[in-house]
Amino acid sequence: MDSRKFVFKFWFLILMILVYACLFLFEGKLFFSSTDFFLKILLNLIPVFVLVFVLMSLINFFVSTKTVSKYFVSSGKKSWLFAVVAGILSMGPVYIWYPFLQDLKEKGFNEGLIAVFLYNRAIKIPLIPLAVFYFGLKFVVILAFVMIVFSVIQGITINKLIEIKTFSAKN
């Protein structure tokens, strides 16, 4: 871990501890209410974290760096199509996908593909009939098409901007 990131995280933790200590001293009721809220959220998230851990373990076991390189690292059409389809089919809250995406990034999945995945999470197959009911089939088809096309454009743009930043950082 970069030492600057570690220092920032350390001081952020210290700041949060101080905020909670002040809250405990001056607004005890609010402190306990906040702590209770945090514990309820934590208990709800534990199964999600277990699921993410299991998924990441399975990916590490079954998906080698060579496989990721072969299918997803290249900027070929297959990798973009995979990111679109995976984004559409993904379920659950987006924050459970962040550790998974970070793991893929460490294996070579580029930022543009991650952006495409996240962008296409807005297209949900179970919600399409409801959207058609309210907005009509023509609108939903056009919207989905535009979102998919622009997600890929956004992903390509992100990759280009990162290349420029990386190139300028090296010079």
- Give the helix ranges, DSSP H, for the chain: 3-26, 28-62, 65-68, 77-89, 97-106, 111-120, 128-135, 137-170
Q: In angstroms, rounded to a whole number, what is the distance separating the alpha carbons of residues 131 and 19?
A: 44
Distance separating alpha carbons of residues 107 and 84, to the nearest angstrom:
19
Backbone dihedral region for residue 90 (phi beyond 0: left; psi -120 to 50: alpha; all else: beta): beta
Statement to judge: residues 57 and 89 lie in one domain: no
| 101 lies in some domain | yes
> Can you read off the two tokens belonging to residue 123?
């297209």
Report field, pTM of the whole predicted structure over 0.85: no
Please indicate, yes or no, whether residues 47 and 84 belong to a single structural domain of this protein: no
DSSP-based three-state secondary structure for 35 = helix
The verdict on residue 99 lying in a domain is yes
Examine the domain organization and report whether 121 and 141 are in the same domain. Answer: yes
Whether residue 69 is contained in a domain is answered as no
Same domain, 167 and 88: yes
Amino acid making up residue 90:
S
Do residue 83 and residue 127 come from a single domain?
A: yes
Instruction: Tell whether 54 and 80 lie within a shared domain.
Output: no
**Structure tokens that stand for 61 in this block:** 């076991």
pLDDT of residue 12: 93
**10 Å Cβ neighbour count for 132?**
14
Q: How many domains does the chain have?
A: 2
* Domain residue limits at 106: 74-171
Q: Along the 171 residues of the chain, how does pLDDT read in single tens digits?
A: 578 888 888 999 999 999 999 999 999 999 999 999 989 988 887 887 787 677 767 766 776 656 655 666 556 788 899 889 888 888 778 888 888 888 888 877 889 999 999 999 999 887 888 888 889 999 999 999 999 999 999 999 999 999 887 766 666
> Do 83 and 11 fall within a single domain?
no
Is residue 3 located within the same domain as residue 43? yes
Query: Coil, strand, or helix at residue 171?
Result: coil
Contact of 115 with 104, CB cutoff 8 Å: no
Based on the fold, state whether residues 86 and 155 are members of the same structural domain: yes
Based on the fold, state whether residues 162 and 82 are members of the same structural domain. yes
